[in-house]
Amino acid sequence: MIICSQVVRLGQHLLGRYNNSGILAELEEAISTFRNANEHLPQNHPLKAACLNNLGISVVCRFEHLANPDDLDEAIMVKQQAVHLTPDDHPDKPAYLNNLGKSFLYRFGRLNDLADLDEAITAQQQAVHLTPDGHPDKPTYLNNLEISFHRRLERLGGLLISDQDGADQCKPSGSQQVRDFISPRRGLISKQLCLCHLSVVEHQLAHQPPGALRHLCGQP
């Protein structure tokens, strides 16, 4: 097992070298190394999840070069395995979930399948939930979740696109005011978004032009 651990670390070194050079051949070597390590690591090995996560990251990088959809499918599969093998109290699990969410969002951008976007949001939700306040990575996870919600809102009808005529100057602040606007109109957006992700909606609205909230709620 010591040899397998060394192979995983070699893959991490090769991936880092690729990140600096951008040379595809070095990325291919990293992918091959991670695959080799993964084949020999048992499920309970402490480096198994990290190996799978890094393999997923490497394959996504190759997708960015070659645009082969099979790479995205493989990335999602191995990242799901990494998440599954990692307990909730492990410090790396939020990062694995965030990486998985980004891969689903990538595939949504290619195939426009709403199921992928829903999966991205679910993974990113969990990443946020498992990350304590004050953690340096939490703002990144929240931002990625916000992006996914915005993409879903656009996909379901552009509900957060600003009001073009700009006539409405109503832009209330505070949780209760936003709840008062959204609650009677839940048919326009999902119940999950209304009840579970109000903070994300509020953050989005804080950056919208005047009239965006009334547009979201379907008011003229």
CB-based contact 86:110 (threshold 8 Å) = no
Tell me what pLDDT residue 3 has: 61
- For the chain, where are the alpha helices, taking DSSP H only? 2-21, 24-40, 48-66, 69-85, 93-111, 114-130, 138-155, 175-182, 191-196, 198-206, 212-216
Nearest to 177 by CA among 214, 127, 150: 214
CB-based contact 81:50 (threshold 8 Å) = no
**Dist CA 68 CA 28 (whole Å):** 14
Nearest to 14 by CA among 53, 45, 54: 54
**pLDDT band for position 186 (cuts 50, 70, 90):** very low
Angle between helices 138-155 and 114-130 (to 10 degrees): 160
The percentage of the chain sitting over the pLDDT mark of 70, rounded to a whole number, equals 69
Tell me what pLDDT residue 8 has: 83
Tell me what pLDDT residue 166 has: 24
One-letter amino acid for residue 75 of the chain: A
One-letter amino acid for residue 38 of the chain: N
CB-based contact 160:187 (threshold 8 Å) = no
**pLDDT band for position 213 (cuts 50, 70, 90):** very low
Would the pLDDT of 178 be above 60? no
Mean pLDDT of the 32-49 span: 92
Tell me what pLDDT residue 72 has: 95
**pLDDT band for position 107 (cuts 50, 70, 90):** very high
**Dist CA 195 CA 139 (whole Å):** 21
Residue 83 C-alpha from the chain's centroid? 13
**pLDDT band for position 158 (cuts 50, 70, 90):** low
Nearest to 60 by CA among 73, 51, 47: 73
- Report the mean per-residue pLDDT for the chain: 78
Mean pLDDT of the 115-137 span: 95
Would the pLDDT of 86 be above 50? yes
Would the pLDDT of 193 be above 80? no
Nearest to 95 by CA among 147, 136, 148, 36: 136
